[in-house]
Amino acid sequence: MSNPQPTTRAAPSYAPPSTQRTSKLAIWSLVLSIVWLGGLGSLVGIILGFAARRKIPQTGERGSGLAIAGITIGVVTLIFAIGYWVFFAMHTGGAGGAGGGYGY
């Protein structure tokens, strides 16, 4: 019979976990999609969201969900902005008609 060899345990590692950075493009995509600025923020938010989705796998950053949320909210707020501007144009005489909408 062989003698069992004593087992040695590795000392626990107390190193802090590696932190991954969140993509700034994804953050700005979400922020600009929420603050729609008459539709301009929504459009920029959508563009930044797609740019973040393309860049995140290359850099290993976090924020894929933020980018998706930025794109989704950007599309919804852009549709809202387009509807707002169409309504505004129709009720202020910007859509043509006689006399600028005052009935003259």
Query: How many domains is the chain partitioned into structurally?
Result: 1
For tokens 């976990």, the residue is 17
- Asked whether the predicted pLDDT for residue 10 surpasses 80, the reply is no
Q: What is the pLDDT of residue 52?
A: 97
Instruction: Give the per-residue SS3 of 5-71.
Output: CCCCCCCCCCCCCCCCCECHHHHHHHHHHHCCHHHHHHHHHHHHHHHHHHHHHHHCCECHHHHHHHH
4: in domain: no
Q: What is the pLDDT of residue 44?
A: 96
44: in domain: yes
Q: What is the pLDDT of residue 37?
A: 84
Whole-angstrom Cα distance, residue 78 to residue 41?
A: 9
Could you report the per-residue pLDDT of 39-85, keeping only the tens digit for each? 999 999 999 999 999 999 999 999 999 999 999 999 999 999 999 99
Q: In which domain, by residue range, is 76 found?
A: 24-93
